[in-house]
Structure 1
Amino acid sequence: MKQLLANRVKTLTPSSTLAITAKAKELKEQGIDVIGLGAGEPDFNTPENILNAAKKSMDAGLTKYTPAGGLPALKKAIIDKLARDNNLTYKANEIIVGVGAKHVLYTLFQVILNEGDEVIIPIPYWVSYPEQVKLAGGVPVYVEGTQEQNFKITAQQLRNAVTEKTKAVIINSPSNPSGMIYTKEELAELAQVAEEMDILIVSDEIYEKLVYNGVEHYSIAEVSDAVKSRTIVVNGVAKSHSMTGWRIGYAAGDATIIKAMTDLASHSTSNATTTAQYATIEAYNGSQDTVEKMRKAFESRLEAIFPKLAAIPGVKVLKPQGAFYLLPDVSETAEKTGYTSVDDFVSALLTEANVAVIPGSGFGAPATIRLSYATSLELLEEAVRRIDAFVKAKWQD
């Protein structure tokens, strides 16, 4: 029999997030009281006004195909949002609506990368960036933003990583998994390197609305018109409006790139789900009160849980500025509790303490674990109590 699988899928790395989630689910089904801190989605329902808009569109018979790049009315809502929130001006032919920000990124890499093109990916990174780059024939080039650097890369690091094969750099701010945010000044420095070295900037801003303690989010595309022209902004309503399952994301950028993405979408997805597009129009045009309500809830949880996590023996953790994740370095904790790796520590934490966290190895940061605080404060406090007890029971000086 001929080879069944294409070579391109043989290098894919399974998602560590999904693996831990599956194991936690299996234990729960056995009646074990597992607390899962792996969630990458808000624990709130989609706001009522958005649900009502979706129902209204269905009742009106608006359930047919839309243009491949998205409903004109939704593109306008996105254009208005970008102008209102980010001081960025776009035209309709510079916007594409896709099946979630993840698929928008996938489509983007498919249309900009040739075999062997390099994409610079800061560590720690969201698990799908390297895999999507590889699937497009590209080569991930990793640059580490250490904990001492607040998990951010510097302009000099970016400059040092660029070669004649470099096509783009990915900037994810606020970051998954670290929750850190690049300042306006840091973005300007990175943008200057991108201009000088003539590379594209992929700016993933999906956690834009989830920022805390007075910290502001800036889009790197705001730096200048010249920077905007080489930046593809990727965003969506999944995190900001608790619409993860609706699968609506978008890209804003160069019209030539957007047209290529739209052409590819016309042969792959046809269009993003029609009902979800009408719901997203309301998400952007309607009241934003629930967005702020969710943000405040996450901020409150962070304030309550951070000092308790930081007090666990061996844990070294930075206070995140956005998103809803904590990324503590637990390498010492794992060592002092008798484990040869953080991955082994995570596995034992699940089976013995019944707490599911994500090993940082999946994010390029094997000394860390990722904990999501997108769950109730009661469960968060119990989870940290269990982790603390687990560590203290096993700690060996």
Structure 2
Amino acid sequence: METVILAVVIAVVVLGAIGGLVIGSRRRRSLPPPPAAPDITAPPAEPHVGDEAETPHDEPRRTIEEVDLPGGSAPTAVAEPPAVEELPAPEIEIPEPTAGRLVRLRARLSRSQNALGKGLLTLLSREHLDEETWEEIEDTLLTADVGVQPTQELVEGLRERVKVLGTRTPEELRGLLREELLKLVGTDMDRTVKTEPEDRKPGIVMVVGVNGTGKTTTTGKLARVLVADGRTVVLGAADTFRAAAADQLQTWGERVGAYTVRGPEGGDPASVAFDAVKEGKEMGVDVVLIDTAGRLHTKTGLMDELGKVKRVVEKHAPLDEALLVLDATTGQNGLVQARVFAEVVDITGIVLTKLDGTAKGGIVVAVQRELGVPVKLVGLGEGADDLAPFEPEAFVDALIGE
């Protein structure tokens, strides 16, 4: 028994000694080697991820202005933000008076229309005016878009007058042709733009026409015409479907001090027109000009919209003018547009744009005959003051030249 106990004690002692040796050796192996003495001549070690990089003390520190940032130049020192300066209000322009404006622009009109007048005078100056010559005169007039019926009337009048006249000097022919053309164009039509109703303010003018004819620009120029004649104006940007139409109109208005009423893009045009007239009444201005949409000259939604605009505006007061803008360079196609618009809105006057860019000045006669209303304004260029009241005498004189 004692022998067994002694054997157990010896085994425990041996195991304990072996365990101590193992643990001791593990501890000795895990200990890191002592650090070597630093070599002051060696370069500093690169910092590891997570370590803090430290600029060596013996290097000069760089300022923030000297450090290049990626993708741009070095930032400048932070300064106080400059004080916001209020932009000056746009300078109000004073348009030139409209009286005699067409006379002043007659040279521009003459350049494009001289072919008609010179052609007619050349044919009438022939010694023998036979049937072939009269047919050539008819062709000249038809080419200028005078229209079939007016052309026949003019040729008949000329034939009668030439027969009575007998001998024909150049001066007599020019006077003869001037008189017959004036009859055709019409000197007894009231061509004033109605903007001053006697019993109320403001006068209300609606401008209609196909996009591309210069409708919005014409509305802005008409505002200048009215301001030049001493009237105050509010503009209604009821062309809500064409991008930037309201911005364009507002820019025209700001140049002459006219206030512009506008709505959201794609909004209800009738609502904008209604608000424009309401604002005009509250502000006590003389005239409200309403620019309308003109996407297509078809009897579809657009025509319904125009009818609605007219009805809504007339809840305030009757329309004083409904002006149809036509591009003179489109010739007979303009008459198709005129018929469609006349079915929806009671057109009271015509504005012919780009008359200086076509030799087909006879459209003045044709469109008046088609609608039974006068041409009241003509556009003779791209300048701000190139919209002029139509004057038959100045127009005919431009046709036949000096």
TM-score (normalised: structure 2): 0.32
Larger Rg: 2
TM-score (normalised: structure 1): 0.32
